[in-house]
Structure 1
Amino acid sequence: MTIRKWGRAAAGRALIALIMVGALATSAWLLVRSPSQAPSTVAAVPVDQQPAGNAASAAGPSVLEVSAPVQAQAPQEQGKNDLEQWAAGLSGALDIPERALIGYANGELTLRKEQPDCHLSWVTLAGIGKASSNHGRYNGDSLNADGVAAKPLGAVPLQGAAGEAASEQRSGPMQLTQAEWKKAKGTGNPQDIDDASIAAGRVLCAGGTDLEAGQSWWNAIDSYRNSDLFRQQVLGNAQLYAALSLAPEAASSPSTRAVRFALDQLGLPYVWGGNGPDSGAAGFDCSGLTKAAYDSAGVSLPRTADSQFRTEPPVPSGAAPKMGDLVFYGSPATRIHHVGLYLGNGLMINAPTTGMAVQIATYHIAGDDYAGAGRPAN
């Protein structure tokens, strides 16, 4: 079990639209607490009752138990036309260009032959592709029909630090270093999504890694990029892709759109009373995040965690939450002090408390004050 504490980000939206994974080095950082420590809590007052300038709040859960994304719909080792049809059927639901999706599938299929015990899934590669270059769309262009970036993809801003050795400079849709390309015995072109996905898969599978095991998956992503924010972005998006690959019809639902919005806010700072950059704040508080997420999907929620708990349709007691459900913490009899957005696989997206960033956490652990879930929309 690991617990991550993120500092404030100074750059507003620097970590949102195109997922500038290196921004953590200049705008926020992570502090690690002992796994034996419980999540910190401080006294809280509902946002609409709190005096201006008082940033105190109730801490939300910040424990993240390591896990791998759930099993996804797997591409079949068939002809080129079959793979193209598979990608065409999922591209729109996942918001991944077909050519990039084919590249990730080719990465899985190749490693399935080379290292079957690694259990590499295309959703892991897709999560890396999203966090690295927005699936090759970082410079505003998509991959061409051959899977190559129309303009060479160099390192994204803030990712290649000044003075970084040439061997550490990243490039291509998977943002591989020259050292990683050499280690993976990369052939072809690192700007090509097929070649880059295969090389990235070899980097992840090196040393007999089994990516079905949560700790091994976590360690592999950490070795690929030493950034907790990057790891969370990969995990969150890979989990979303896996879920939608099994139910692509859910892609346009308000709950899925709310989750997509929340994933794009990972790394922004907790700001008491914050409604996000679109409203002039650097970040969000817990209910500001859930309200903004559902506002983006056309569903209006009350502003505070307690009012959201008391107005939104409850999930039956004992039933597991579904993707997009609101998960609440506190006392139903008195006051709910925290809310997050359920992602799936036991995970939620939330803005925990002052001094921490919007992040993924395990939604329910022993000893917490989980109060139940609500379902604003299907």
Structure 2
Amino acid sequence: MRFRSWGRAAAGRALIALILVAAVGTCGWLLVEPPGEQVRAAADVVPPEPPSGNAALASAPTVLEPNAPVQAQAPQEQGRSELEKWAAGLSGPLDIPERALIGYATGELTLREEDPGCHLSWVTLAGIGKASTNHGRFGGGSLAADGTLTKALGAVPLTGAAGEAATESRGGPMQLTQAEWQRAGGRGDIQDIDDASVAAGRTLCAGNTDLQSGQGWWKAIEHYRDSDLFRQQALGNAQLYAQLSLDPASASAPSVRATRFALDQLGLPYVWGGNGPDAGAAGFDCSGLTKAAYDAAGVNLLRTADMQFRSTPAVAEPKMGDLVFYGNPATRIHHVGLYLGNGLMINAPTQGMAIQIATYRTRTDDYAGASRPAA
């Protein structure tokens, strides 16, 4: 059995620092692997030993300073037909049912009127909806034309490659507790995406929260559900949806498909030489994750971070799906992540840590540049 421990960050900041098993003075999202032989990469390519101890933390980013998701394409109050047209245009590229998008937009439009200082965006609700019930599709369910679930949902476990059991009594497409539902007014049907999105918005906006600030956004998500995996999933998918809403035509690009794959691996453990569950490993190492992500997108990458750095076209500034590297270009690149956008990356940091979203630049990193394996 794998042991999980979730830490917290310095007071007053929306930070999650990621720590090694040996506890070196930071705190964060920790996965301790049981003793035993680690799975190596394919026999013909064995990755170099990762840096250890304080050196590993000093050389690659190990904190998350979340920004609010980028400004998305916003719905406008122009009548139901216009809202349906807006949802129809985004549903396919975002892989969100049209009826769910209408519900999330209803939440934004309602809170825009009730609490304009909160700055609630539909992408925040969509990130929560994805992490909670896959937009009402958990267990083969769906949303009816009136917005209600065809199969009522109680508490749902978090899904994805890692997964996490449900530990609280929750319900509906937005997985609200009864206490949250009642505090948000308790009117309507918790199984209805419109009513649930409005209630979720009121829950997020409670206490004069401003979701435009990174700290305010992260604290609101923390209060919504006490799970680091949930918060990472909500953050990653909200960021993905915001960017795709601005460029829906890019949804089928290999870079986006690779990003979706990487987001699905959040919470798996770092395993040196690991190529993921499909290859018989409990998790991935840094370059194993990026290679698997691009394999899923139909693009073949070489196996190690150093090889990927030297075989993919460099770019001055990363975009979503680009690779970001750490190390010395003249000698060896020791780490790679996949850029999510908005200053964030998805990566398998080092031993003892989960695959997670982190800030891609810090004052103490040894950032070596970015590359674009495919458009």
* TM-score category (smaller protein): 0.7 to 0.9
Deviation digits for residues 236-278 of structure 1 (CA, Å, limit 9, x no counterpart): 1000000000000000000000000000100000011111111
Unpaired stretches in structure 1, ≥5 consecutive residues: 1-8, 11-26, 162-167
**2:317 matched to 1:284?**
no
Distance 1:264 1:69, change over 3 A: same
The aligned amino acid for 2:89 is G
User: Does the CA contact (< 8 Å) of 2:8 and 2:17 recur in 1?
Assistant: no
Alignment-derived partner of residue 102 in structure 2 = 102
The aligned amino acid for 1:83 is L
1:109 is displaced (CA, Å) by 0.4
Alignment-derived partner of residue 196 in structure 1 = 196
Of 346, 349, 367, the match for 2:346? 349
Superposition map of 1:233-312 within 5 A: 233-312=233-312
Distance 1:145 1:326, change over 3 A: same
Q: 1:37 and 1:251 mapped to 2: Cα distance?
A: 29
Deviation digits for residues 272-313 of structure 1 (CA, Å, limit 9, x no counterpart): 111111111111000000000000000000000000000001
**2:363 matched to 1:366?**
yes
Q: 1:111 and 1:253 mapped to 2: Cα distance?
A: 34
**2:320 matched to 1:323?**
yes
For the residue of structure 1 that corresponds to 2:140, the secondary structure is coil
The aligned amino acid for 1:28 is R
**2:150 matched to 1:150?**
yes
Q: 1:211 and 1:39 mapped to 2: Cα distance?
A: 24
Alignment-derived partner of residue 121 in structure 1 = 121
Q: 1:49 and 1:140 mapped to 2: Cα distance?
A: 41
Deviation digits for residues 321-343 of structure 1 (CA, Å, limit 9, x no counterpart): 11100000000000000000000
1:216 is displaced (CA, Å) by 0.6
1:145 is displaced (CA, Å) by 0.9
Distance 1:330 1:172, change over 3 A: same
Q: 1:63 and 1:122 mapped to 2: Cα distance?
A: 26
**2:138 matched to 1:138?**
yes
User: Does the CA contact (< 8 Å) of 1:186 and 1:195 recur in 2?
Assistant: no
Alignment-derived partner of residue 7 in structure 2 = 31
Superposition map of 1:205-244 within 5 A: 205-244=205-244
Distance 1:33 1:76, change over 3 A: closer
For the residue of structure 1 that corresponds to 2:149, the secondary structure is coil
1:30 is displaced (CA, Å) by 1.7
Deviation digits for residues 213-242 of structure 1 (CA, Å, limit 9, x no counterpart): 110111100010112221111111000000
User: Does the CA contact (< 8 Å) of 1:286 and 1:340 recur in 2?
Assistant: yes
The aligned amino acid for 2:321 is G
Deviation digits for residues 190-218 of structure 1 (CA, Å, limit 9, x no counterpart): 00000000000000011111110110111
1:140 is displaced (CA, Å) by 0.8
Q: 1:185 and 1:40 mapped to 2: Cα distance?
A: 40
User: Does the CA contact (< 8 Å) of 2:285 and 2:350 recur in 1?
Assistant: yes
Deviation digits for residues 8-35 of structure 1 (CA, Å, limit 9, x no counterpart): x84xxxxxxxxxxxxxxxx522234658
Q: 2:9 and 2:210 mapped to 1: Cα distance?
A: 27
Q: 2:185 and 2:223 mapped to 1: Cα distance?
A: 17
Q: 2:18 and 2:356 mapped to 1: Cα distance?
A: 14
The aligned amino acid for 1:117 is G
Q: Which runs of 4+ in 1 moved over 6 A?
A: 35-42
Deviation digits for residues 113-172 of structure 1 (CA, Å, limit 9, x no counterpart): 1111110000000000001000000121211111111111110135443xxxxxx51000
Alignment-derived partner of residue 330 in structure 2 = 333
The aligned amino acid for 2:121 is S
Distance 1:83 1:38, change over 3 A: closer
The aligned amino acid for 1:368 is D
The aligned amino acid for 2:5 is W
TM-score, normalization by structure 2: 0.86
Distance 1:50 1:68, change over 3 A: closer
**2:83 matched to 1:86?**
no
1:50 is displaced (CA, Å) by 5.7
CA RMSD of aligned residues (A): 2.2
Q: 1:160 and 1:373 mapped to 2: Cα distance?
A: 38
Q: 2:188 and 2:8 mapped to 1: Cα distance?
A: 40
> What is the aligned length?
340
Q: 1:274 and 1:34 mapped to 2: Cα distance?
A: 31
For the residue of structure 1 that corresponds to 2:266, the secondary structure is coil
